[in-house]
Structure 1
Amino acid sequence: MSSQLYFQLITPLIFLVFAMGFGLIYRYTSDQDSARYFAISYLFGAIAFVLDICRSLIPGIIDNMVSNLAYMLSAGLFSVALMAHYRRKKPWAVLSIIGLVALCTSYYFMLIDDDMAVRALVLNFFGSLLLGYPVIALRGMKRRPIDRLIYWVVAFTVVQFQLRTIIVLMIEGSTLSEETYSGSLSAVTFQLLTSVSALLMALALFAMFGMEIVLKLRRNSETDILTGLLNRRGVEAKLPEFENALANGVKSHGVLVFDIDHFKEVNDTFGHSAGDEVLVACANLLKELKVEQSIVSRVGGEEFNVVLYNVDENTAKLVAEYACSAFSNLTHPAIDNKVVTVSIGVALWDVDASFAEATRKADTALYRAKSGGRNRVVVARTKIVQFQTRGAERRAS
């Protein structure tokens, strides 16, 4: 097998393998819509190169027209895929206009003024415009190292399309024709550099998808599915930062344990779906506290925890009181716009105690809040009820 035939066969195979790979990513991670466009893009690339191999079996005009269309679709869909992946508007109109101009111009120099060299120049120029659209549109999106790698691989591909075409046509432009194209320097360099570029881009994209899938799996394992808050595993992943702060001079953190009052009655009266809506609404309220560097979690059932970074007892109590007041004014449409209050236990986590010990103290304070009438805040090691506001009393005042 000659080296030329080897490259002719290996290039569509590379495109086809990666088309299948992106298709599998889309199949098993359907939220990655860009993977679908990458798969279709690589599939059209494979079709275009197969048509190049079959030049002797298909009438030249038909082969050229279909293969040119496939090349343009491959480049355009790749740009759409990149834009979709970075949550930018898909530029269908712009890319369609570029592709249409490219095809019309190439067909003119095929059917009316037959000039193989000009046709090659036109196709490579407009193909690089299609592929290069994200290089301009996404120039401010290179946040992660993998994003920068993908950006520069695409930019390299665009540049090499232009430079390779100009250099090759300067060397053999006058002798290039349909009969000589298959064995020409233009064909060989196009197949070789396109194979390398496609391989580099696909490997970088697979690395990016792999990182994002792992990150998603990790995030799902650390997140409560219903509320979107951290679960116990997610809390444990963030605790080392708080422990290190205590070891480096921070005096204390606040631990707040929330429990929704009479939540069983909500489920029994209105059903578990209504109970879930109440849980989500309560979680959203806690998210809106937006205390810097705090950990907000749902640790099970109707219980939520908040860990406040670098606060003293007074600050922790004030945050708890604010939250208790906010809950007592929150109505829930799913339960006939009734109010569901919370009881809160507060404790300090300092260098002399572990997080588990501080949580146990907050749990004890929560029990006292529950037994003392609910809808209130109790601070650990304090017998005085620190805050008390009943929802009905507040609405009546």
Structure 2
Amino acid sequence: MDILTLTIVNLFIAGGAGALFWLLYLADKSQQHLLYWAIAASCMLVSSTLSTLFHFGLSLPYWLTPALGNTLIVSLHLTLLAGLYQYFRLSVKLRWFVSVIIIVFAMHFSDFAQQATANRLFLNFPLIIIINFFGLHLLFRQRHTALNGIYLVLKLAFVLNITQMSLRFLLLLSDKWQLGLFSNPDFIHNIGFFGLTSFALLIFGSSILLVYRQQQLTLQQYSERDALTGLLNRRVMEQKISAELDRCHRQARPCSLVIFDLDHFKQVNDAHGHLAGDAALCHVAAITSAQLRSYDLFFRYGGEEFVVCLPDTDATAAKHVANRIRRAIESSVPVHYPELKLTISAGLASTRHNTNLQELLLQADQALYQAKNTGRNQICSFATLATPGH
């Protein structure tokens, strides 16, 4: 493609991405990263517009092109980086970003910058490469399995941009030092337009995909999680526990289920109000979660009732875990309701042969019923109930 075609392509890429980011931001102004990415696309749009007018033969003053046009390209990379910082909930020092942009624009009016295109590239390339390295470093620090594919594309965009700019910078140096490696600064400048097109396609495309995928994950979380406690809800319990039971069966490993609820929970609501009841449920959810392993499954079963799935755990170990949870709840109080003294009763059941979820739930529920009937604030195992003489 010739330079004019590339600038027009860049203009359409930036215009489309910018329009989408602005619409998304206006729909939810709490998403500050969308604002920065909208500004980044707008910077590229204005820069590509100036470049298109220039290549159509329109005479533009130096302060517009190349001074403003080049500054906008630097601003594009800066605001992309700022958007990533905001997306990952990191603080953005806006004054530093603005200061860099002002300094870059001012540098274009130095005698050195005005002498040749190559000199302006000497000023801009190192800064853009450094900005891209910051973005790459930020992405390598992230761990999110569901988004790793998109993070990989973003990393690729930064790596390719750093590579092409570093090579062009080295070629410019070789020409300036007359090493004879390359002697066509205009080609180096022109190939940059193709590099910008590739970078824009990768970075804006993956950023849009990132927003879309994040919204999908958020909706999925809302559908799978209890609104009050943030725990997995009953709607997904059968699917997730059944998958664990199948895995444990294939590997000939035990799996245990614990059902527990708060003792005398109705009295909490009656005596202290439903806000206190909600606080009690959230408190129990938090205390219990702290006692579990990362791969244990914890559900709000309904009302004040909870279910814990303990993979690779036999009945003896499960009872130890359940008692640890019971003691932790008994010895703590909700932050804003120190007058609440909470206890739980629990029933547990463990797999035997091909025990399915419904059987385990029924067994654990029977054990819970026994725990309540024999005084509450205790753990009862179905294995004990099934033992002759009990």
Tell me the TM-score normalised to structure 1 length. Answer: 0.81
The residue number in structure 1 matching 2:178 is none
Counterpart position of 2:129: 128
Change (3 A) 1:377 1:141: closer
2:45 matches 1:41:
no
Residue deviations 1:339-391 (CA, integer Å, cap 9, x gap): 0221212222322421111111211222222233322222225359xxxxxxx
Map of 1:332 onto structure 2: 334
Equivalent residue in structure 2 for 1:161, among 162, 165, 174 = 165
The letter for the 2-side match of 1:155 is V
Contact (CA 8 Å) 1:102, 1:126: kept in 2 or not? no
Letter of the 2:305 partner, please give it: E
Cα displacement (A) at 1:201: 1.9
Count of equivalent residues: 371
Segment of structure 1 superposing worse, 330-339 or 223-232: 330-339
Change in 2 beyond 3 A, CA 1:131/1:381: closer
Match of 1:243 among 237, 241, 246: 246
Conservation of the 8 A alpha-carbon contact between 1:142 and 1:151: no
Runs of 5+ consecutive residues of structure 2 not aligned to the other structure: 176-181
Residue 379 of structure 1 is aligned with which of 335, 357, 381? 381
Residue 274 of structure 2 is aligned to residue 272 of structure 1: yes
Change (3 A) 1:163 1:314: closer
Change (3 A) 1:66 1:371: same
- Residue 269 of structure 2 aligns to a residue whose secondary structure is helix
Find the residue that maps to 1:308 and give its secondary structure: strand
CA contact (8 A) 1:257 1:363 kept: yes
* Cα RMSD (Å): 3.2
TM-superposed CA distance for 1:246, in Å, is 1.9
Which of 342, 366, 369 is the equivalent residue of 1:367? 369
CA drift of 1:97 comes to 5.9
Residue number in structure 1 paired with 2:116 = 115
- Which residue does 2:21 correspond to in 1? 22
SS state at 1:296 partner: strand
1:115 CA drift (Å): 3.2
Query: Taking structure 1 as reference, are residues 292 and 166 closer, same or farther at Cα in structure 2, changes over 3 Å only?
Result: closer
* 8 Å CA contact retained: 1:4, 1:188: yes
Task: Tell me the equivalent position of 1:7.
Answer: 6
Q: How does 1:280-295 map to 2 (within 5 A)?
A: 280-291=282-293, 293-295=295-297
The unaligned stretches of length 5 or more in structure 1 are 174-183, 385-397
Q: Which moved more, 1:300-309 or 1:289-298?
A: 289-298
- In the other structure, the counterpart of 1:150 is 154
% identical aligned pairs: 23
What is the rounded CA distance, in whole Å, between the counterparts of 1:376 and 1:27 in structure 2? 53
Q: Which amino acid aligns with 2:161?
A: T
**Does the 8 A contact of 1:344 with 1:378 survive in 2?**
yes
What SS does structure 2 have at the residue aligned with 1:118? helix
TM-score, scaled to structure 2: 0.82
2:194 maps to: 192
Aligned pairs for 1:311-322 within 5 A: 311-322=313-324
What letter corresponds to residue 10 of structure 1 in structure 2? Answer: V
Q: 1:28 to 1:254 in 2, by over 3 A?
A: farther
Conserved? CA contact 2:3–2:193, under 8 Å: no
